[in-house]
Structure 1
Amino acid sequence: MTAVLPTTDATPDTDVPEVDRASWSSRAGALLVDVLPGAAVIVTMGLLALASPADGWARWAFTGAAAVALFATAVNRLMLPATTGWTLGRALCGIAVRHSAGSGAGSDAGSDAGAAVGIGRLTLRECAHLLDTLAVFVGWLWPLWDRRRRTFADMLARTEVIGVERPARNVRRLVALVLITAAVVCAAAAGVAYLTVYKHERAVDAARAQIDEQGPRIVEQMLSYSADTLAADFARAQGLTTDAYREQLVAQQQAAQKAGIKSNEYWAVSHAVLTDPPITPDRASMLLAMQGQRGDDPQNLKFITATVRADFDRSPSGQWQVANLTVLKKPQMNPAGQ
């Protein structure tokens, strides 16, 4: 008596339905087209924003352009595939992301196999690409030897990339337009950065050099005067100040006249251009250590030491003028010889 065992048509779990799975090169090409233009704009704008003055409009403009590029990249990678079935790069390469079409118990088989992927799963897949990158980029190379040509992100999101017929529209022209636009935007931003950032930095460097050279002389001339040429010296000092500070200087000069004028001569023995507040092409500050002498009798001169801070503004004619003078250490007077 012979026992006949029933046969089954079960397929081993390792069997995978044959579909036209996308090659690694086509996937890489599609990813470059999808990501490279936006990444180029984002990186360029980010670097230019960091190099721009913190209080200038250029930093906000570059940051806004980077945000627009990031949004456009997200729309292309997440929203377009969910609505049209394509990203720009995948349409060019003739590939598409689909639900995994596995078989056997515990596999991805089901009614969704081969169906288009929704925005939620696409978002999960994009986030999961972080695993492909953190694994020393091994996940991106995994399709080269995986039987179903999946990345780690595909395995996690239960998707696979297959070859499909390209859309009827002229995708190459659209891709070329996107690439050219990204290149033009980057070039235009570099030009704007040259005009607003590089030229600004050069102007700041020039202002620093001018104040370093002219600042001590301006303060010396403003504080020095002789009893014999008082009117001319006071008029010269007033011409070295801004309109806003001139009234305060005139009041000080009038008080000195009432107290009895004695000749004063100052000179700067050391100085430093301050960086707080930041130097601008039209504004700068300086710290000065001053020495001088006071008196009209050569036999009875008094030596003076003082520390002052001078704030400078550039006039419309390009001349540096004292906008404020603050005495940090009041003048100390010693008789000659002490």
Structure 2
Amino acid sequence: MTVTVPEADVVADIEATELADPTSAGVTANWPARAGAFAVDVFFGAGVVLTALLVAWAAPLRGWLWWVAVVLAGVVFLAMALNRLLLPSITGWTLGRSLAGIVVVRRDGAPVGPWRLLLRDIAHLIDTAAVFLGWLWPLWDPRRRTFADLIVGTEVRRVEGERPRRRRLVGAVLVALAVLAGAATGAGYLAVYRPALADEQAREQLAVQGPQTVAQMLSYKLATADDDFTRARGLVTDGYRQTLVADQDRARKLRLADTEYWVTDSAVLTSTRDRGEMLIFMQGQRGEAPNLRLISATVQVRFERSGNGQWKVADFSVLARPTAGEPK
């Protein structure tokens, strides 16, 4: 005996099945929905991780900022992994997919476990390596799959039924990520970039002021020796001033002639915002015609910067003693 099932009952059974499993209809998700979900799940978090790693790379190794940046990158990366791999296994959704109304399933519509999701995310590297062609493959693939979907046997389908309402949660997460990225950027600027910029500016100032200061300190004329020596004492630090005064007194006793130095070459050896060291090559002349003699010397000078930004001589070492040439 043949039993005939009314067509209305068949339709009702199908509709009931589709309501019980919203993905059973097999309607694949469009590319904008997938891109939006990926941006929420990966893009914004990856931006924070990348920012934190750049700050850690620029910060002093194992300093406080380095540790903060590394920990921040690790925490955000772990949160991304939990959202992408563990949360779908527990709730069936990631934050981004719940917002877009899509879900990752096997080809037969069965749920996907965390290991297959992990393999799928790793396979996305192939999507990227192929000049991003794999990410665009859903635009013309019949089932809108990426290379990663083809490799691990998954599809992304649209969910027509009930789904979690997580707009506020997603908004809060995105705001938090923006704050973290801004904080990491600000910390990097304040703790790394700005000090480095100040050090570079100080180095440039030292390269200009240092040789001029040394030449003025060593040059004098007998007719204005008192004023020249007083001016020279203002070019050195308090700690070096006593040594300079002793050298000036020695010059008076020896009754040296007019002396003028100029710098022929120089190099900054070390430099911070307040201290620096230079190697300076100098030439000069001493005396008057017809006994005028050329002189040269190589000196290593340590500088300290005063409160008004002027570089002053803090120590002075002669590497090559002044040598006198023939009379002019």
TM over 0.5: yes
Distance, in Å, in 1 between the alignment partners of 2:152 and 2:138 is 15
Q: Within 2, Cα distance between the matches of 1:91 and 1:271?
A: 68
Structure 2 residue runs without a partner (length 5+): 1-23
| Equivalent residues in 2 for 1:58-207, closer than 5 Å | 65-101=72-108, 114-118=110-114, 120-164=115-159, 165=161, 167-168=163-164, 170-193=165-188, 195-196=190-191, 199-200=194-195, 203-204=198-199, 206-207=201-202
Describe the shift of the 1:231–1:75 C-alpha distance in structure 2 as closer, same or farther (beyond 3 A).
farther
Structure 1 vs Structure 2: percent identity of aligned residues?
46
Task: Report deviation, 1:128.
Answer: 0.5
Which residue of the partner structure matches residue 235 of structure 2? 240
Per-residue CA distance 1:263-312 (angstroms, 9 max, x = gap): 462322434453x53x43323444433122345x7653432112333332
Match of 1:288, as an amino acid? Answer: I
Closer, same or farther in 2 for the Cα pair 1:240/1:79, shift >3 Å? farther
Letter aligned with residue 114 of structure 1: A
| Residues 261 and 285, structure 2, Cα contact 8 Å, conserved in 1 | no
CA 1:300–1:186: 2 relative to 1, 3 Å: same
* RMSD of aligned alpha carbons: 3.8
Query: What secondary structure, in the 3-state scheme, does the structure 2 residue paired with 1:300 have?
Result: coil
* 1:36 is the counterpart of 2:43: yes
Question: Structure 1 pair 228/91, CA: closer, same or farther in 2 (3 Å)?
Answer: same
Does residue 312 (structure 1) correspond to residue 303 (structure 2)? The answer is yes
Which residue identity is paired with 1:154? D
Structure-2 separation of matches of 1:225 and 1:242: 19
The 2-side partners of 1:242 and 1:79 are apart by 65
Cα pair 2:229 2:248 within 8 Å, conserved: no
Q: Provide the C-alpha distance between the structure 1 equivalents of 2:181 and 2:200, rounded to a whole number of angstroms.
A: 26
CA contact (8 A) 2:277 2:301 kept: yes
Aligned ranges 1:5-44 → 2 under 5 Å: 19-44=26-51
1:30–1:262 CA distance, 2 compared to 1 (3 A): same
2:36, 2:100 within 8 Å by CA — same for their partners in 1? yes
Deviations 1:14-58 (A, max 9, x none): xxx8534433332222111112212333444556666x5768876
Distance (whole Å) between structure 2 residues aligned to residue 121 and residue 255 of structure 1: 86
CA-CA distance at 1:153 after TM superposition: 1.2
- Number of aligned pairs? 303
Residues 72 and 246 (structure 1 numbering): CA distance in 2 closer, same or farther, change over 3 Å? farther
Rate the CA distance shift 1:65–1:235 in 2: closer, same or farther, 3 A.
farther
- Is 1:302 equivalent to 2:296 in the alignment? no
Q: How does the TM-score come out when normalised to structure 1?
A: 0.71
Structure 1: give runs of 5+ residues left out of the alignment: 1-16, 102-112
Matched letter for residue 179 of structure 1: L
Q: Which residue of 1 aligns with 2:280?
A: 288
The aligned amino acid for 2:299 is V
User: What SS is found at the alignment partner of 2:309?
Assistant: coil
The structure that is helix-richer by fraction is 2
Q: Secondary structure at the match of 1:324?
A: strand
State the one-letter code of the partner of 2:322.
P
